[in-house]
Amino acid sequence: MIIAQISDTHIALDTPDADQRIRDLALTIADINALDPAPDAIVHTGDIVHNGRQDEYAQAVAILAKARAPVYVLGGNKDNRANLHEAFSACGYLAPDSDFIDYAVENYPVRLIAVDTLSSASNKGDFCLERVRRLIDLIDAETTKPIAVFTHHPPFEVAVGPDRLHFETPEMMSRLRRALQHSGRVVAVFSGHVHRAAAGHVGSIPATVMPCIATTLRKGEYPAQMKKRPVYHVHRFDPVWGFVTETRIVGTAPAAAATGDSILPRREAALHQPDER
Ligand SMILES: [Fe+2]
């Protein structure tokens, strides 16, 4: 079981770096398509677009449609639940009548569970009692397989950066942590939101945060030659060893562009801009 995780693409159409954000996602999908062996699934852990707009989702959907593996998406604080639902409803895994973007994917050796941590009040995470019940119901719907859980906001304090806690209150994060540990079958938690790599734990469950795909929004120090190269994670599951996570740096433009030549339905020139390194 191989999962490619992408996150925080923040697709926008009218920011100065809009073309770069589109290019970052397109090149990342091209890089994932070239992985050998190929991933079984791609999970986007939220902040797909920057302003929750329908036209931004249309752009994101057009690029994600080029992925060879099935794509599963979560909502981030910059996403709009209704517009996200509408944009991805044809994929079949989002319940049309749900107030939350949470679901389980059952057709792999590892169950994938997507958690909704969006708050209507702030950019930080929320996890209300209703979502506790929904998560436990999703976890308990099957009792034999290991589970990988995906969240936008990380369920552990990230000590690097200006803000350690990415939930509105410590209690909200504690609720999520308790729910994740209740079955003993969750073997990994994969998150986004922080825009920099981090690793922690939820009890004994390993938990990681991946950097953002949008290179212009990435936090942390990177060498100059990596400034325009997106970074994503590949999680490989072994029944004995659990998940091993590889950090992938998206290839240089010529190789990736060759694979992703027809990825962009418009703004195509973004793929062929001269490298400004
Ligand atoms: Fe976020």
Measured in Å, residue 245 CA sits from the centre of ligand 1 at 21
Query: What percentage of the chain reaches a pLDDT higher than 70?
Result: 91
Residue 265 scores a pLDDT above 80: no
Quick one: pLDDT band at residue 204, thresholds 50, 70, 90? very high
Quick one: pLDDT band at residue 252, thresholds 50, 70, 90? low
Q: Report which of residues 251 and 275 the model is more confident about.
A: 251
Residue 86 scores a pLDDT above 80: yes
What burial letters (b/e) apply to 200-236, b meaning 16+ CB within 10 Å? bebeebebbbbbbbbbebbeeeeeeeeebbbbbbbbe
Measured in Å, residue 84 CA sits from the centre of ligand 1 at 15
Measured in Å, residue 168 CA sits from the centre of ligand 1 at 13
pLDDT of residue 261: 45
Q: Using an 8 Å Cβ cutoff, are 54 and 47 in contact?
A: no
Measured in Å, residue 8 CA sits from the centre of ligand 1 at 7
pLDDT of residue 254: 46
User: How much is the average pLDDT of 100-115?
Assistant: 97
What burial letters (b/e) apply to 187-198, b meaning 16+ CB within 10 Å? bbbbbbbbbbbb
Measured in Å, residue 125 CA sits from the centre of ligand 1 at 9
User: How much is the average pLDDT of 207-234?
Assistant: 94
List pLDDT tens digits, range 137-168.
999 999 999 999 999 999 999 988 788 999 99
Residue 260 scores a pLDDT above 50: no
Measured in Å, residue 79 CA sits from the centre of ligand 1 at 9
Q: What's this model's pTM, rounded to 2 decimal places?
A: 0.91
Quick one: pLDDT band at residue 189, thresholds 50, 70, 90? very high
pLDDT of residue 225: 87
Measured in Å, residue 47 CA sits from the centre of ligand 1 at 5
Please give the C-alpha separations between residue 99 and each of 84, 85, 122, 136, 168, in angstroms, as whole numbers: 12, 10, 17, 17, 20
The Cβ-side half-sphere exposure at 122, using a 13 Å CA radius, reads 9
